[in-house]
């Protein structure tokens, strides 16, 4: 059976959002937009409903879900405490693309299936109006990973994901393209310090304005070991990946990077290059797409372009790297995973 569909791109239709909220209340799944990527959501307090997310996505159950809330009261009902630094983070970055890992209450209000049996839970308050309305009208926190089959690029518009998820959810709320294009920053507070578990739009530099020390977890640009327990989604398994083989190439020296990408292009028959607009005319490949002019453009376009690339019947996708400063850290985190750690970083001589 096909999912019920609501077009919210020309303004919010509260009646139809209420219909979607009723599906959440009834233990069903709803596909909805956030400012980051689309989510596939269920009542976070209903274990049976949450189980449906894992089935729809083909997601491993040791991969925790993020809980989306619309007010602080929802947070207080779930977590043991909100520390002073966590309060400061909430004041500065909520609603918005920041997920905070809290110690969960031991009263089992949040089922273990949401947290992968951990004693912590990741929570965020989205700023997207459709997401906020859906949570408000549902009256419950909503557990929601990205709306895609596990391992594939996250959905940033309904067109990219409707084929793989239509019929697997009760309701689809179409809010057009998402604003950011990458999943939220995930952090864990340790006293006066912050550990970034998954980078996103809220950067290390921004977090440093409210904390004494901000560290980047070793697994952000590294590979998680097979049996390692992780508190954040997006770390452990193959993620964001197209079916086509891809690789990332980066150098701080743009000319050196372009030269290397052209060398690889000559060694392969059918190559597609994804690069910044300013470099497009320097590449020899017949197939080349512009990711835009800046990091914000790259973040917004990368998942959609990886999905489109799979339909081009190319043998190799080569993606320009962007470094690890600011938003670049989040983009690089996604790219190295999308490319299954197949990347080249050229050192300056």
Number of domains in the chain: 2
Indicate whether 38 and 158 sit together in one domain: yes
237 in a domain, yes or no?
Answer: no
Residue pair 185/98 in contact (Cβ under 8 Å)? The answer is: yes
Predicted pLDDT of residue 232: 58
45 in a domain, yes or no?
Answer: yes
Indicate whether 141 and 256 sit together in one domain: no
234 in a domain, yes or no?
Answer: no
CA separation for the pair 64, 174 (Å, rounded): 25
CA separation for the pair 230, 158 (Å, rounded): 29
CA separation for the pair 95, 100 (Å, rounded): 12
Indicate whether 44 and 140 sit together in one domain: yes
CA separation for the pair 189, 322 (Å, rounded): 27
Indicate whether 171 and 264 sit together in one domain: no
Report the length, in residues, of the chain. Answer: 349
238 in a domain, yes or no?
Answer: no
111 in a domain, yes or no?
Answer: yes
Indicate whether 200 and 313 sit together in one domain: no
The CATH number linked to 338 is: 3.40.50.11030
Domain that holds residue 211: 4-216
Predicted pLDDT of residue 208: 98
Indicate whether 45 and 132 sit together in one domain: yes
Indicate whether 190 and 289 sit together in one domain: no
The helix or strand, by DSSP H or E, that contains position 92, with its residue range, turns out to be helix 84-93
Q: How far apart are the first and last CA of the chain?
A: 59
Provide the b/e sequence for 257-282 (b: ≥16 CB within 10 Å). bbebbbebbeeeeebbbbbbeebeee
Predicted pLDDT of residue 231: 55
The helix or strand, by DSSP H or E, that contains position 73, with its residue range, turns out to be helix 72-78
Indicate whether 186 and 49 sit together in one domain: yes
175 in a domain, yes or no?
Answer: yes
Indicate whether 89 and 12 sit together in one domain: yes
The CATH number linked to 69 is: 3.90.870.10
End-of-domain residue from the set 216, 237, 262: 216
State the DSSP code for 3. P
Token pair recorded at residue 302:
């990368």
Helices (H) and strands (E) in the chain, counts: 11, 16
Indicate whether 76 and 197 sit together in one domain: yes
SS3 30: strand
203 in a domain, yes or no?
Answer: yes
Predicted pLDDT of residue 222: 85
Token pair recorded at residue 241:
């990946």
Give residues with Cβ within 8 angstroms of 227, minimum separation 6. Answer: none
Indicate whether 76 and 206 sit together in one domain: yes
Q: What is the pLDDT along the chain (349 residues), one digit of tens a residue?
A: 679 999 999 999 999 999 999 999 999 999 999 999 999 999 999 999 999 999 999 988 889 999 999 999 999 999 999 999 999 999 999 999 999 999 999 878 999 999 999 999 999 999 999 999 999 999 999 999 999 998 899 999 999 999 899 999 999 999 999 999 999 999 999 999 999 999 999 999 999 999 989 999 999 998 775 555 555 555 555 678 899 999 999 999 999 999 999 999 999 989 999 999 999 999 999 999 999 999 999 999 999 999 999 999 999 999 999 999 999 999 999 999 999 999 999 987 6
CA separation for the pair 114, 51 (Å, rounded): 9
Q: What is the DSSP string of 147-194?
A: SSSTTSPPPSSHHHHHHHHTTTSSEEEE--S-SS-SPPEEEEEETTEE
CA separation for the pair 34, 331 (Å, rounded): 18
Indicate whether 182 and 259 sit together in one domain: no
181 in a domain, yes or no?
Answer: yes
Predicted pLDDT of residue 297: 98
End-of-domain residue from the set 198, 216, 234: 216
């Amino acid at each position: 059976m096909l999912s019920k569909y609501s077009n919210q791109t020309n303004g919010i239709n509260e009646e139809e959002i209420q219909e979607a909220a009723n599906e959440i209340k009834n233990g069903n799944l709803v596909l909805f937009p956030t400012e980051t990527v689309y989510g596939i959501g269920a009542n976070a307090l209903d274990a049976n409903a949450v189980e449906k997310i894992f089935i729809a996505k083909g997601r491993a159950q040791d991969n925790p879900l993020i809980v989306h809330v619309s007010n602080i009261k929802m947070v207080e009902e779930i977590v043991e405490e909100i520390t002073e630094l966590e309060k400061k983070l909430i004041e500065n970055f909520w609603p918005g693309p920041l997920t905070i890992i809290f110690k969960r209450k031991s009263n089992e209000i949040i089922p273990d299936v949401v947290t992968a049996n951990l004693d912590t839970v990741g929570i965020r308050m989205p700023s997207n109006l459709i997401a906020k309305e859906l949570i408000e009208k549902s009256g419950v926190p909503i557990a929601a990973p990205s709306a895609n089959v596990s391992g594939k690029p996250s959905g940033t518009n309904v067109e990219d994901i409707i084929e793989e998820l239509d019929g697997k959810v009760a309701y689809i709320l179409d809010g057009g393209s998402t604003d950011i294009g990458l999943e939220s920053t995930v952090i864990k507070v340790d006293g006066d310090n912050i550990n970034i578990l998954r980078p996103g739009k809220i950067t290390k530099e921004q977090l440093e304005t409210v904390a004494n020390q901000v560290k980047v977890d070793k697994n952000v640009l590294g590979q998680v070991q097979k049996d390692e327990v992780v508190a954040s989604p997006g770390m452990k398994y193959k993620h964001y990946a197209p079916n086509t083989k891809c690789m990332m190439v980066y150098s701080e020296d743009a000319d050196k990077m372009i030269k290397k990408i052209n060398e690889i292009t000559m060694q392969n028959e059918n190559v597609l290059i994804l690069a910044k607009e300013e470099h497009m005319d320097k590449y020899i490949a017949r197939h080349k797409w512009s990711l835009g002019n800046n990091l914000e453009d790259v973040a917004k376009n990368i998942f959609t372009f990886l999905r489109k690339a799979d339909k081009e019947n190319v043998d190799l996708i080569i993606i320009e790297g962007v470094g690890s400063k600011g938003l670049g850290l989040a983009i690089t985190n996604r790219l190295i995973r999308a490319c299954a750690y197949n990347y080249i970083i050229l050192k300056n001589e």
